[in-house]
Structure 1
Amino acid sequence: MTKLRLAIVGAGPAGIYAADILLKAERNFEVSIDLFDHLPAPYGLVRYGVAPDHPRIKGIITALRDVLDRGDIRVFGNVRFGVDITMDDLKTHYNAVIFATGAVRDADLRIPGIDLAGSYGAARFVSWFDGHPDYPRTWPLEARQVAVIGNGNVALDVSRMLAKHADDLLPTEIPANVYEGLKASAVTDVHVFGRRGPTSVKFTPLELRELGELPGVDIVLYDEDFDYDDAARDAVASNKQVFVIDKVLNKWRERPAGTASRRLHLHFFAKPVEIVDDGAGRVGAIRYERTRPDGHGGVVGTGEVRDLPMQAVYRAVGYFGSPLPGVPFDKKRGVIPNREGQVLWKGEPGSGSASANQQLYGVYATGWIKRGPVGLIGHTKSDAMETVRHLINDLGNWWHPAEPSEESVLAMLDERGIEYTNLEGWHRLDQQELALGTAEGRVRIKVVPRDEMVEISRGEG
């Protein structure tokens, strides 16, 4: 019987779902799957891109753990594609590869002053407070007035983490260094800016409700932002999610002014146009233009420009994919070009099809690196199903590896001295983090330094 030796690069939800779906799919061949990730621990953005006070989302890890713990998928952590292993290596040992590397960089926001000191990408801040091993252990939190640009769930996560009192995060798995950093934060006011109105936000009702439950934090809204046009009123009447969001916001408007030590301001119809220099090369203010409804669900500028003093700005306008060595990449969209998960490339000049997209046989994509950083877990599963369907149907075009045995991959990694981690190692690290939490009366405390993660996982520390 034919056997598929498959490599999956990326051990987050997209990669794990793809492996699980393939193993459960109807097929007339055997399957052997190796999952590679550059981090020592699996689960990708569920571990390193979700705020620590979101236990319901962290619960996704339980489902992912169940897949890996079946024992029919090998996991190789702390292995960097393009450095430790290459595309040529994959062709030597596998019949095909699925890239599930996600999107972890901040999308650009091209306005003057965005590169001033004190201006940050939200993704980097998220990586810091989630204890990502490849980011500095400290974060500058001297600003009293902070702006967050964006109206999606990441913007709310960042705003909530900035406004929330550090002691209220102790029940979570927040690393010790992050707790100490947030405990010393000087912030008093967090301002969230979105260019559209309250009925056009991209965050979910649950995320929004959580803001109103922050102890010691007042929510501040502005009446001028709630002068709805017919399109906004229609959205409230016809869309349940918009209805709930509108109801929550208007309930907050009825609250009397509070006296909390921190305030979280929501600004709608506010389009940031410039980050103003304080004269010393740092963020001094945010300059924004008031917008208004255009009558069709969008907005237009009013020409009215306002400044608000700020000492820090976080842009939360989306994530962006990163190119991989030897893999086609769409620089404009930040994705691997593909057709339903089948990776595409441009024909060579002189081949008669220089401008045509051709399938790059044996190479597939799934998740955010396939479709861009939009959608929730349900979209990730349907993505994986589509990609896996094509992988199965492409049997006749798989690679023909020279060394397809499972042992040959172990020999290659060992010969190169790569300190890879495996599933057993993740269990060791998992138990260590739980033990650290128990000692402090908490569920878990993350181990942050990469070398410590590797030592614990490999049984060396």
Structure 2
Amino acid sequence: MSRPVRVAIVGAGPAGIYAADALLKSEIATEPGVSIDLLERLPAPFGLIRYGVAPDHPRIKGIVTALHQVLDKPQVRLFGNVAYPGDLSLDDLHRHYDALVFATGADADRDLAIPGIDLDGSYGAADFASWYDGHPDVPRDWPLEAEQVAVLGVGNVALDVARILAKTAEELLPTEIPPNVHAGLAANRAVEVHVFGRRGPAQAKFSPMELRELDHSPTIEVAVDPEDIDYDEGSIATRRGNKQADMVAATLENWAIRDVGDRPHRLHLHFFENPVELLGADGSVVALRTERMRLDGHGNTVGTGEFREWPVQAVYRAVGYRSDELPKLPFDPLSATVPNRAGRVLENERPLPSTYVTGWIKRGPVGLIGHTKGDANETVACLVEDQAAGRLRLAPEPAEAAVETLLRSRGVDFTTWEGWQLLDAHERALGEREGRERVKVVDRATMLAASAGDLSNTPD
């Protein structure tokens, strides 16, 4: 090939940017060269880090620094506010790119099929995170009238939701939360937050650091029932073979035996309680019904037939994320992933030419952000192998200017990497006025205006 390989990466979150980084470090970056366009449906890049990580986790958001370095590379362009397939179809992409990598992630809530899940006061954790992270496509307000709240799940997302609900608005004000989120949290009436898991402490999916952070707030009293500290042979084996699981269990043990303090908000961590029903009155949640579980000797649990009702007025399910189907691509509705082999998209068990996936749309929403690096490396290795073997379907119109011309002809108000830098500077300037690092802009029109360097007629 006498020109650089043209690659489109759909999705500019960590998975997509890691794929770009892997391409830049691969052999095709040297010969014949590579030209990468990141296509993102939101006006700003960084995906889950910007719109899925709790605002009081600046350590995790520090990953953005490394991602910045990739987007700064001359071989990489960002096209934000560009939707697939609304603005660019699959045929469009194949016409202008030699290879396509879909890195669209997972931002929908996984379903939980129990009675009452559709009552008013029943929410998904992903939806709540989108609100408190200032996602431009969700409502600006969130109902926070419940004084007693249940969170279903024992992963880091459940901890994020529980912590945001239990903290005061003033504790979160130094973060990047936008004004509407601060106002909403200032009116939050929650004083008791209950986190429920159907298995035991050794099976909890919290990371040790995330768990310990719960106890750092001066307003949150974390409580663990000593009766929930129980292990069988399978649980003991898990602790012996997994340092993180052992650290989590040890932290929970310490909390279970200490005296309960007098901080104003209580956050209870419950184990061996399986949610089986949301109870309602007048169409709204009034209680959660759980079945008490016991260990079976192998680290799993079975029901005891004993049930308990917990008075709560809101329930948040944090039982996992789910990817949306990508039009024109095969999709497995059970795993909510695109069928693939090592990143090559499969249709009827045969690879689709020049079409790849990486991140959660490839393997499902499991693991931490850093785990997507391995996904990206594996997928890019397949792409590089296919290029070397002459298996890529070469684009008939590969000129870099062609995509920009097409988007302009369709009236797409796209953003660029330079535009992100303008938006970033604007958010930091808003923060500086209040003694904060940044104040996140929520309104899409304002984001677009800031990215264009024109804020003369915007609400912010």
Report the TM-score range of the alignment, normalised by the length of the smaller protein.
over 0.9
Aligned equivalent of 1:51 = 54
1:358 aligns with 2:350: yes
* Partner SS for 1:85: coil
Residues 402, 231 of structure 1: alpha-carbon distance in 2 compared, 3 angstrom cutoff? closer
Name the counterpart of 1:14.
15
Q: Which residue of 1 aligns with 2:173?
A: 170
Written as runs of structure 1 = structure 2, the 5 A alignment for 1:67-78 is 67-78=70-81
Is the Cα contact below 8 Å between 2:39 and 2:80 reproduced in 1? yes
The residue aligned with 1:457 is: 451
Aligned to 1:252: 255
Residue 135 of structure 1 is matched in structure 2 by 138
CA distance in 1, matches of 2:331, 2:191: 42
Cα distance in 1, alignment partners of residues 80 and 112 from structure 2: 33
Q: CA deviation at 1:325?
A: 1.5
Aligned counterpart, 1:349: none
- The SS at the match of 1:212 is helix
Partner letter of residue 19 of structure 1? A
Q: Which amino acid aligns with 1:428?
A: L
Residues 39-188 of structure 1: pairs in structure 2 closer than 5 A? 39-188=42-191
Separation of aligned partners in 2, 1:9 and 1:246: 39
**Equivalent residue number for residue 327 of structure 1:** 329
2-side partners of 1:196 and 1:228: how far apart? 10
Are positions 1:271 and 2:262 aligned together? Answer: no
TM-score by length of 2: 0.96
Q: How does 1:331-346 map to 2 (within 5 A)?
A: 331-346=333-348
- 1:373 aligns with 365
Residue 303 (str. 1) matches residue 305 (str. 2): yes
Using the TM superposition, give the Cα deviation of residue 410 of structure 1 relative to its aligned residue in structure 2, in angstroms. 1.1
Residue type of the alignment partner of 1:358: R
Determine the C-alpha separation between the residues in 1 that align with 2:175 and 2:313: 28
Mapped partners of 1:287, 1:377: distance in 2:
33
Alignment partner for residue 215 of structure 1, among 204, 213, 218? 218
| Aligned-partner residue type, residue 431 of structure 2 | G
* Partner Cα distance (2:220, 2:42) in 1: 35
Counterpart amino acid of 1:339?
A: R
Aligned CA distance change for structure 1 residues 261 and 394 (closer, same or farther; 3 Å): same
* Counterpart amino acid of residue 8 in structure 1: I
Q: Distance in 2 between matches of 1:333 and 1:250?
A: 35
Deviation at 1:96, TM superposition (A): 1.2
Distance in 2 of aligned mates of 1:170 and 1:23: 39
Aligned-pair distance for 1:2?
4.4
In structure 1, what is the equivalent of residue 458 of structure 2?
none
Q: Deviation of residue 358 (structure 1)? A: 1.0
Q: Which consecutive residues of structure 1, in runs of 5 or more, have no partner in the other structure?
A: 347-356
Q: 1:384 aligns with which of 373, 376, 387?
A: 376
Question: Quick one: structure 1 residues 235 and 94, their matched pair in 2 at CA, closer, same or farther if it must change by over 3 Å?
Answer: closer
1:30-41 alignment runs, 5 A limit = 30-41=33-44
Give 1:115 deviation, angstroms.
0.7
Alpha-carbon distance in 2 for matches of 1:219, 1:171: 23
Q: Give 1:237 shift.
A: 4.0
Contact 2:226–2:257 under 8 Å retained in 1 = no
Residue aligned with 2:294, SS: strand
The 8 Å contact of residues 201 and 230 in structure 2, kept in 1 or not, is answered as: no
Q: Could you list the per-position Cα deviations for residues 235-265 of structure 1 after superposition, in whole angstroms to 9, with x for gaps in the alignment?
A: 3344322221122112212332222221001
3-state SS of paired residue (1:248): helix
* Correspondence for 1:418: 412
Structure 2: distance between partners of 1:419 and 1:173 = 26
Asked if 1:394 corresponds to 2:386, the answer is yes
1:222-241 matches, cutoff 5 A: 222-241=225-244
Aligned partner of residue 216 in structure 2, secondary structure = coil
Query: Secondary structure at the residue paired with 1:397?
Result: coil
Letter in 1 for 2:21: D
Tell me the distance in 2 between the aligned counterparts of 1:235 and 1:93.
Answer: 50
1:430-451 per-residue CA deviation (whole Å, 9 max, x = no partner) reads 0000000000010010000111
Q: CA RMSD, aligned part only?
A: 1.1
Contact 2:81 2:415 in 1 (8 A): yes
Asked if the contact 2:26–2:384 (Cα under 8 Å) also holds between the matched residues in 1, the reply is no
String of CA shifts for 1:257-313, please: whole Å, max 9, x gaps. 2222210011100000000112x0110100000000000111110000110111000
Identify the residue that residue 353 of structure 1 maps to in structure 2.
none
TM score, norm. by length of structure 1: 0.96
Q: Distance in 2 between the 1:169 and 1:96 partners?
A: 43
Q: Aligned partners of 1:275 and 1:187: how far apart in 2?
A: 18
**Structure 2: 5+ residue stretches without partners:** 456-460
Task: Answer yes or no: is the 8 Å Cα contact 2:279–2:286 preserved in 1.
Answer: yes
Deviations 1:152-178 (A, max 9, x none): 000000000000111111221111111
Aligned to 1:289: 291
Please name the residue that 1:448 is paired with. Answer: 442
